[in-house]
Structure 1
Amino acid sequence: MLILYGHPFSSYTWKALIALYANGTPFEFRELGKDNADDDSFVAAASPSGQFPVLRDGEATVFEATAIIEHLHCHHPSQASLLPTDPAEAARVRMWDRVFDLHVMNAMQQAVAMKLRDPVISAEAARDAVRARLIRSYHWIEDWLGTYRPVSTITLVECAAAPSLFYADWVIDIPDDCARLKAWREHLLALPPVARCVDDARPYRAYFPLGAPDRD
């Protein structure tokens, strides 16, 4: 049995969970922060950063959400085509995965981290610090969606895009001139593996440092 360590409100935990749900892979979820010292110690020692999610698969320990998805693709192939079989196409999918992690998720987390480090700072000031970066990324993705056809299956792209766009839109609204991106975010959130993550995270919305909107 695979074991995934993480938290239901964590964007990167979502990324791994979406792949597991789509793949139909049996696994046990260990929610961190529930006074289980052994789980917390295991995760703290699993990687240089001590961050989650972390996957345990027998004797193998895999950290970082993208690596977890790659591990599933290699060792637990199932109903989801998480990565294309063609190496060139797989490289393109990995490139797009980096776009969402580095240019959407990272910017969103920068604003959240600012507020956590300095509770006195206003939510608007934290948003302003990443506004230009996120708007630039939104417009780039809007143009890219002219060539990427939204699908109802789950690949590494959807695993990366869904949590990053879900939370980034809470920080800086996707603008009206990014109609394709708005529609794609809605499409992603309706996919069953993603919708499951959204619903499981609802009890924790009050903890979003910038204030969770009354939607989604």
Structure 2
Amino acid sequence: MILYYHPLSSYCWKVLIALYENGTAFEPRMLEDPAVAEEWLKLWPISKFPVLRDEARGCTVAETSIIVEYLGQHYPGPFRPIPEDGEAALEVRLMDRLFDNYVMTPLQAMVADRIRPEGVPRDPYDVEQARAMLRKSYAMLEERLAGRTWAAGDSLSLADCAAAPALFYADKAEPMRASFPVLAAYLDRLEARESFARVLREKEPWWHLFPYAGG
């Protein structure tokens, strides 16, 4: 399998965590290489990443939640991204959506505003709206995660693959540790997990490019 990715992309992290948790063999192809980028665009002209190419099955798989579920279905191992129980599976999928839509999405709006090209005015109103959404999301997640080890219960799942990059990045732009102790402890557990710790180590050469890297 081939993963087209960039080591600073939050959504690439989501897939990498699943791959590392499961010990799944794959070939990483970084999109900084123009030849790799050309391959990627032929596979997925919508030009979003990551994209997984499974040569053995002749499949191109896009969208992070789908990629993680695909890996669980076709390359099962110790990591089970979706539980077999139907109600538990719904909770995992809900938490996955909460982290992607209400943490990562407003964070990306803030990042996009900060990296606007020279001469393009910034939009402080949109940034404040994004900050407000993050604070609202933090409060909701603080309550929902109380008493849980992982995002949807006692076992690591797809939801945690989404949570790790979302919370890590969001905390740099709109810090939450001082006001949300449950979320802070949960993020500490995620960062201590070897799969995510590996992702964090691998991002270091590019970390200076993140506009909130210095706080």
Structure-2-length-normalised TM-score: 0.89
Post-superposition shift, 1:41?
2.3
| Residue identity opposite 2:131 in structure 1 | R
Identity of aligned residues (%): 38
After alignment, is 106-115 or 43-52 more displaced?
43-52
Offset, 1:171: 0.8
The structural deviation recorded for 1:94 is 0.6
Residue 189 of structure 1, CA deviation: 0.8
Structural RMSD (CA): 2.2
CA distance in 1, matches of 2:186, 2:61: 30
Give the deviation of 1:124 after TM superposition: 7.9
Q: 1:4-53 CA distances to partner (integer Å, 9 max, x unpaired)?
A: 110111100000000000011111100111232xx212322434631110
In the aligned structure 2, how far is the partner of 1:47 from the partner of 1:202?
A: 27
* 2:24 is the alignment partner of 1:22: no
Other-structure match for 1:71: 70
How many residues get paired?
Answer: 210
Quote the Cα distance in structure 2 between the aligned partners of 1:49 and 1:148.
37
Q: 1:88 to 1:54 in 2, by over 3 A?
A: same
Q: Is the 8 A contact 1:53 1:65 kept in 2?
A: yes
State the secondary structure of the residue aligned to 1:62: strand
Contact 1:22 1:154 in 2 (8 A): no
The Cα shift of 1:144 comes to: 0.4
Q: Output the CA distance in 1 between the equivalents of 2:155 and 2:30.
A: 26
Counterpart of 1:49 in structure 2 is 46
User: Gapped runs of 5+ residues in structure 1?
Assistant: none
Q: Whole-Å Cα distance in 2 between the matches of residues 40 and 64 of structure 1?
A: 17
Distance in 1 (alpha carbons) for counterparts of 2:64 and 2:165: 12
Corresponding position of 2:33? 34
Q: Which residue among 150, 153, 156 is the counterpart of 1:154?
A: 156
> Which residue of structure 2 lines up, in the alignment, with residue 84 of structure 1?
83
Q: With the length of structure 1 as denominator, give the TM-score of the two structures.
A: 0.89
Match of residue 212 from structure 1? 213
Unaligned 5+ residue runs, structure 2? none
**1:92 to partner: Cα distance:** 1.5
Deviates most, 116-125 or 4-13: 116-125
Q: CA deviation at 1:195?
A: 0.3
TM alignment of 1:54-203, pairs within 5 A: 54-58=51-55, 59-119=58-118, 127-150=127-150, 154-174=156-176, 176-203=178-205
- One-letter code aligned to 2:68: I
Which SS does the other structure have where 1:117 is aligned?
coil
Structure 1 residues 165-200: Cα deviation after superposition (integer angstroms, max 9, x where no partner): 010111100152311001111111110000000010
